[in-house]
Structure 1
Amino acid sequence: MHVAGWKDVEGMAVTEAGADGVTIRVLMGENVGAPNFTLRHFEVAPGGHTPFHAHAWEHEVFVLSGKGKVKRKDGETEVGPGSFVFVPRDEEHAFANASSETFSFLCAIPATKVCLR
């Protein structure tokens, strides 16, 4: 068993092309010996966004704080604390901050995948 606080995990700037103002923390994955899933914490600064991208695995997202927009090929949806988002494999998507406060969310992916570094 591994127990820790999310602030104990070093945040890293997402440097992937198309990302701006995004910090990621890998809370649970290889770092704690989790064999099946990776749970990440994202913070998106005001005006920030992840790149518009797609990949061959799903995402499960839970919004913790702030207001954001989930962008997809055919539009966008506003989300806030308590919202959850399922992004199917191969669906183009991006997350953007829609307010003047930090937008934060948890995102789970299969353990063997790497997304947004």
Structure 2
Amino acid sequence: MKVNNYQAVEQKPVEMEGSQGCQVRSLLSSGDGAPNFAMRQFEVEPGGYTPRHSHPYEHEVFVLEGEGLVLEGSVEHRLQAGDVVLVTPDEIHQFKNTGQTPLKFLCLVPNSYKDLPISMAPECGVE
């Protein structure tokens, strides 16, 4: 068992092309003894967004704080604290903060995500 406060985990900038104002904390992964899933906590500043991309694995998201949008291809879904999102494999998606405070969410992915390709959408980062 591992018990840790999320603030003890270093927050790092998301350095993927098409990202703006995003930070991530890798809360749990295979390096911590988690055999199947990695848990990450993202923080997107007001006006910020994740890259518009897809990948061959699913991920689950739980919104902790703030408000924003998740794009499913070109369809926008409003987000607020307490919402959950399932992003299916190969689905083009992007998270955007539309509020005045940070948008914070947990994102769970398979541990194998680091070995799998990410495809950037052609309109990546274009508003």
Query: TM-score under structure 1 normalisation?
Result: 0.95
Aligned residue in 1 for 2:54: 54
* Paired residue secondary structure (1:112): helix
Aligned mates of 1:31, 1:12 — CA distance in 2: 17
Task: Flag structure 1 segments of 5+ consecutive residues without an equivalent.
Answer: none
Equivalent positions of 1:30-69 (< 5 A) are 30-69=30-69
Instruction: Kindly state the Cα deviation for residue 112 of structure 1 after the two structures are TM-superposed.
Output: 1.2
22-31 or 86-95: bigger deviation: 22-31
Paired residues of 2:70 and 2:93 also in contact (CA < 8 A): yes
Equivalent positions of 1:16-27 (< 5 A) are 16-27=16-27
74-83 or 14-23: bigger deviation: 74-83
Residues 75-116 of structure 1 deviation map (CA, whole Å, 9 limit, x = unaligned): 101110100000000000000001110000000000111288
87-96 or 69-78: bigger deviation: 69-78
Paired residues of 2:68 and 2:80 also in contact (CA < 8 A): yes
Task: Flag structure 2 segments of 5+ consecutive residues without an equivalent.
Answer: 119-127
Aligned residue in 2 for 1:84: 84
Aligned residue in 2 for 1:73: 73
Residue type of the partner of 1:56?
P
Instruction: State the 4+ residue runs in structure 1 displaced beyond 3 angstroms.
Output: none
Aligned residue in 1 for 2:125: none
Aligned mates of 2:76, 2:31 — CA distance in 1: 33
* Paired residue secondary structure (1:44): strand
Equivalent positions of 1:87-106 (< 5 A) are 87-106=87-106
Aligned mates of 2:59, 2:80 — CA distance in 1: 17
Query: TM-score under structure 2 normalisation?
Result: 0.88
Aligned mates of 2:49, 2:10 — CA distance in 1: 20
